Amino acid sequence: EAGVAQSPRYKIIEKRQSVAFWCNPISGHATLYWYQQILGQGPKLLIQFQNNGVVDDSQLPKDRFSAERLKGVDSTLKIQPAKLEDSAVYLCASSLLGTSPNEQFFGPGTRLTVL
Amino acid sequence: GENVEQHPSTLSVQEGDSAVIKCTYSDSASNYFPWYKQELGKRPQLIIDIRSNVGEKKDQRIAVTLNKTAKHFSLHITETQPEDSAVYFCAASGYSTLTFGKGTMLLVSP
């Protein structure tokens, strides 16, 4: 089966600019996650969707980050305006919906550099 | 919220030796504990996971143990090979939200 797709793979912007990332999860996966992975650290959850509803966005910096999953499939994550500390790899993951936690499958990530 | 501590941050072994990575978690409601391997510049990939109703799970050279009372779990890799070199992350989840440790860089020397 096809894996989680993300684009772009790399993005370089200047601080205060805006940027958007796109994710297409594995077909049939109702749950979609966006993680931020700063160099040398583990992934940190930014937002979790179940179909097109938000389950957890407690760690999303809502003053500058936004995300949507309008039709319950693809998702976009936006940063506006970007700060230097936003430089990181942004990982999208998806999983099946179930009564207990299921394996999360990760995409290749988007490496963002903010200058 | 959940807090996951992972040790050591770096582990160097000789090929053929065993490697052990340990994690502790804070939320007693967590019931799912996956381990991910991330090679340089690549996506994290699940290598093994364990649920709270099981104390140990093995898959060839990899095993994971869970002590719910002490709230810690460990990854054991036997007969290490150079291709095992990567960063390993533990994680804990109560339902579906995963909290990751900071990672262990495993270096296996030939």
Interval B80-109: pLDDT, tens: 999 999 999 999 997 768 999 999 999 999
CB contact under 8 A, B96 and A109: no
CA distance B20 to chain A (A): 18
pLDDT value for B6: 97
E strands, chain A, in order: 5-7, 10-13, 19-24, 31-37, 44-50, 53-56, 65-68, 75-79, 88-95, 105-106, 110-114
CB contact under 8 A, A45 and B97: yes
**A81 by DSSP, 3-state: which?**
coil
Contacts of B69 (CB under 8 A, 6+ apart): none
Average pLDDT, chain A: 93
| CA A74 remoteness from chain centre | 11
* Chain B residues contacting A via beta carbons under 8 Å: 1, 4, 6, 31-32, 34, 42-46, 49, 51, 89, 91, 93, 95-103
Return the minimum-mean-pLDDT range out of A31-45, A92-106, B26-40, B82-96: A92-106
Interval B29-60: pLDDT, tens: 999 999 999 999 899 999 999 998 889 999 99
Half-sphere exposure of B53 (CA within 13 A, CB side): 1
Beta bridge partners of B87: B38, B105
Of A2, A8, A62, A59, nearest to A33 by C-alpha is A59
* Chain A residues contacting B via beta carbons under 8 Å: 31, 33, 40-45, 48, 55-56, 58, 91, 95, 100-109
What chain A residue is nearest to B47 in terms of C-alpha separation?
A: A103
Of A71, A45, A26, nearest to B96 by C-alpha is A45
DSSP state of A104: P
* Contacting residues of A for B48, CB less than 8 Å apart: none
